[in-house]
Amino acid sequence: TGKGGVAIISGESGAGKTFLAIEGATLAGHLRVGLITGECLPMDADGDSVIDVFGAPLHPFRKFLQLCADRARQRGIEYSEALLGAHSRILAPYEPALLETPSYAAHPAPEVLPAELARSRIVAALRATIAAWAKAEGPTVLMLDDLQWVDELSFAAISSLDADFLAENPVLFICTWRSDEIGPAHKQFAAQPHVELIELQRLNSGAVGEMVGDMLAMATPPSELVDFLARETEGNPFFVAEYLRMAVAEQLLQRKAGKWTIANEGSVQRLPSPGSLANLVSRRLGSLSRAATQVIEVAAVLGRHVRSTTLLGALTLPDADAAIAELETKLVLEAEAEGWRFVHDKLREAAFVRVPADRRIKLHRAAAEALEVERTKVSPDAFEWGALAYHWKEAKEPSRAVVAYGKAGDQALGNFSNREAREAYTAALELSTLAGASELDRARWEAGMADACLLSGETKLGMDHARRALCHAGFPLP
């Protein structure tokens, strides 16, 4: 219709991601619109579970910005100016590919502004670029996955896309989140009139039958098998897929004369109970070769997405290609532009839990050392200081972790990501005594906390941190 909108797919962990991706691609194909995907990332794990330490600012929009940069380079200065113009300078810190566009070289560095105005300028630049893309390329679907992990700056940008903007620009945002992990801000966003919230329920028996038929290439799968899976998995699609993969891999299901049958001419009642999803995933990971297990352990420590340079730098295998190929064949890892990613975050969580605690320390050290090598090859602004800090902390190197946490806080504050800045400075201050940090370092981190709190509207807390900063610097208030 020439108008845009926002749709949020809300469901519990593990529900519906595969179907959502298929339906999104199908929707784009039917409507003849462009489809661009993005993903919000957790960066960290603590103990035996993944926690919410968020990805880099504007990470969900990186693929979109990379696509803008590619088009601008291919089509020249006129197209680049219409699409990006001076906004290339404002958005380049969040996607380095924009540095190579004709528009970047054609405009001066943006004026330095106070924090709140600078943040508003970034949001406005992204809004304008999305609108310019839709005007130049036509109706567009932007799919943003795992919005429960969205970084602060990205959420501000998404929230700014109000009814007026969407009425003028043919852009449809399809966002997903885990309903059990969202906060008040997410609920407030979903309550707006121009946002449609779609509650994704677990699959019924009919939908499980369609999924089984697709995976086994059967027009009409056995009804007793479908009923068994629907009952045992309670309609969780990831659980259904994992059980079928296990059953085929272990030859509990066998293909004979073009048909799938239960092994040894048995009935569905003779199939083993899947137990818990965690046990089922662990069973699949336990079937990997020793080399593939080493790779997946390192990958699990590094995160859901793994750059090839970091993974290969942290590995001690002489030839990891065969092991990585095995992980791709068994649908544990899948290739992407800069490396690999876990096919599902539940696989990463299960792989992480399987690594013994003492081995995790060694793997975190290897990961930190690999990142230190990468750090020498990129600008400090583009480096992921938070990831380096986390790995040094888990490697039991507080003196190295505290320095990286301080730099991560400075980086986040410079990017107007106040929540992330506070988390990094808090981690630095918590480690400061153990790491033997100087009073001047403590003063700097407390001052950073003060700025982040004040910019978040928490005036009293910000003043408390400002007083502590003065004390550490030797200038306590009377």
| Span 428-472, pLDDT tens digits | 999 999 999 999 999 999 999 999 999 888 999 999 999 999 999
Helix (H) or strand (E) holding 383: none
What pLDDT sits at residue 266? 61
Angle at 315 between CA 310 and CA 317, to 5 degrees: 145
Residues 386 and 421: their CA atoms lie apart, in Å, by 10
Strand partners, 44: 51
Residues 437 and 427: their CA atoms lie apart, in Å, by 13
pLDDT at residue 12 tops 70: no
Question: CB under 8 Å to 373, separation ≥6 — which residues?
Answer: 313
Tokens of 442: 């403590």
Residues 414 and 408: their CA atoms lie apart, in Å, by 10
Highest mean pLDDT among 25-29, 124-128, 252-256, 332-336: 124-128
What pLDDT sits at residue 270? 63
Calculate the alpha carbon distances from 275 to 232, 262, 359, 433, 435 in Å.
Answer: 8, 19, 28, 46, 45
Residues 179 and 468: their CA atoms lie apart, in Å, by 39
pLDDT at residue 242 tops 50: yes
Provide the pairing of β-strand 171-178 with 195-199.
unpaired
DSSP, collapsed to helix, strand or coil, labels residue 310 as helix
What pLDDT sits at residue 6? 84
Q: What is the pLDDT of residues 300-329, one digit of tens each?
A: 999 888 889 999 999 988 888 999 999 998
Sheet containing 305-307: which strands, arranged edge to edge? Answer: 305-307, 339-342, 333-336
pLDDT at residue 118 tops 60: yes
Residue 237 banded pLDDT, cuts 50, 70, 90: confident
What does residue 192 show for φ and ψ, rounded to 5 degrees?
-70, 150
Tokens of 390: 């986390």
Helix (H) or strand (E) holding 245: helix 237-249
One-letter amino acid of 14: G
Residues 41 and 151: their CA atoms lie apart, in Å, by 8
Handedness of CA 364, 153, 39, 65 (dihedral sign): negative
Question: Per-residue pLDDT averaged across 383-395, rounded?
Answer: 92
Helix (H) or strand (E) holding 32: none
Residues 286 and 351: their CA atoms lie apart, in Å, by 9
Specify the residue for token string 């130049």: 136
Alpha helices in 330-438 (DSSP H): 345-354, 357-375, 385-394, 398-414, 418-435
**DSSP, res 111:** P
Residues 412 and 381: their CA atoms lie apart, in Å, by 10
Q: Which contacts (CB < 8 Å, 24+ apart) does range 262-270 have?
A: 267/224, 268/222, 268/224, 268/225, 268/227, 268/228
Residues 322 and 307: their CA atoms lie apart, in Å, by 17
Question: Per-residue pLDDT averaged across 229-239, rounded?
Answer: 82
Q: Is 13 exposed, middle or buried (0-12, 13-18, 19+ CB in 10 A)?
A: middle
What pLDDT sits at residue 18? 40
What is the SS3 string spanning 123-171?
HHHHHHHHHHHHHHHCCEEEEEECHHHCCHHHHHHHHCCCHHHHHHCCE
What does residue 80 show for φ and ψ, rounded to 5 degrees?
-60, -40
Mean of the per-residue pLDDT values for the chain?
A: 85
